[in-house]
Amino acid sequence: MKLANRRECDGMSRLPARFFTRLGVPWLWGADVEKGWVFMRFNAVPITTRLLAPRSYAYGVSRLPPTGGAVLAVNHLSAIDPPLVGSFSNRAIWYMTKSELLDVPLIGEALSWTGAFPIRRGESDREGLRTARELVRAGHIVGVFVEGTRQRLGYPAEEIHAGALTIAMKEKVPVIPCGVESFGWSLKNRRACCVVYGQPMEFDGLQANGRGYKQAAAIVRLEILRLWRQAAEAVATRGPSVLPDGTRRESWPRAREFRPAPTSRRVSGLV
């Protein structure tokens, strides 16, 4: 079995770059990332919420702004987090993604179809930040895992990177905090998980400089921690219909409930 898997991986690595994109797969939805998210409502979302993470819950979905740019700031505990958060979103999320993941054959290519764009971890990446700012300015939601990497101890990090706040404060768009409880999830442990979206946050009272970004990051970290605790409690109590603060449980949005941004943007390389 291991030999077969190795052969499959070797075969994938020998495929030409962006092989399936060249075949025209993204044109099934017009190569428009926003329309692609609607297309995925019929396949990727049911697979995620019913097969990979069955009995998962979400709260506060209606807190996502129906229009306009924003930065979604999320904690990160397992590999299921990006599709899980996206499944319970009624907006397309353009994820800021580590560059090495986008280089993986097929997986990276498929991520690019959903609007994922590269960021180099552990160093300043002006191009990645520039792309993020252009996206929120055009009315899209940029998703950032603000801890920079998965947390191995099962709870949010004590500090978060200020990049997400830099984007939001420079472009004067809200930050939407999001707490995810998915610790221990794997293909062998397809456990129920939970996503809790918070209220949009703005930081007009802080200076748009290094000190202000760090102050905003500290505020957002505390809110993500609070939302994660709510998510953990919801999982422990098997998804109550209402959280203690009155936030109601919501199912994943159907295609008719999806709210695409008015500014279309095609898959990279197909413009």
Hey, what amino acid is at 156?
P
Nearest CA among 95, 109, 103, 101 for reference residue 23:
109
In the prediction, which pLDDT does 270 show? 58
Domain count, the chain: 1
- pLDDT band at 121; cut points 50, 70, 90: low
d(CA 146, CA 69): 18
What's the mean pLDDT in 159-183?
A: 97
In the prediction, which pLDDT does 124 show? 59
pLDDT-above-70 percentage for the chain: 91
Query: 230: helix, coil or strand?
Result: helix
- pLDDT band at 14; cut points 50, 70, 90: low
DSSP, res 141: E
Of residues 142 and 6, which shows the higher confidence score? 142
> For the segment 191-225, what is each residue's pLDDT rounded down to a tens digit?
999 999 999 999 999 999 999 999 999 999 999 99
> What does each C-alpha distance from 85 to 59, 72, 144, 257, 270 come to in angstroms?
11, 10, 11, 16, 26
Helix (H) or strand (E) holding 177, with range, is strand 175-181
In a domain, 144, yes or no: yes
In the prediction, which pLDDT does 6 show? 44
What's the mean pLDDT in 115-125?
A: 77
Pairing verdict, β 93-98 and 141-145: parallel
Token pair belonging to 167: 């984007």
> Against a cut of 0.85, is the pTM above it?
yes
- pLDDT band at 268; cut points 50, 70, 90: low
CATH of the domain at 151: 3.40.1130.10
Of residues 65 and 122, which shows the higher confidence score? 65
In a domain, 21, yes or no: no
In a domain, 266, yes or no: no
Token pair belonging to 60: 């506060």
Angle at 38 between CA 134 and CA 183, to 5 degrees: 80
In a domain, 9, yes or no: no
In a domain, 98, yes or no: yes
In a domain, 262, yes or no: no
In the prediction, which pLDDT does 271 show? 46
In a domain, 44, yes or no: no
Query: For 54, left (φ over 0), alpha (ψ -120 to 50), or beta?
Result: beta
In a domain, 158, yes or no: yes
Range of the domain at 243: 54-183+193-249
In the prediction, which pLDDT does 213 show? 97
H runs (alpha helix) in the chain? 2-13, 19-22, 33-40, 44-46, 81-87, 99-102, 107-113, 126-137, 163-171, 210-236
Handedness of CA 201, 206, 208, 209 (dihedral sign): negative
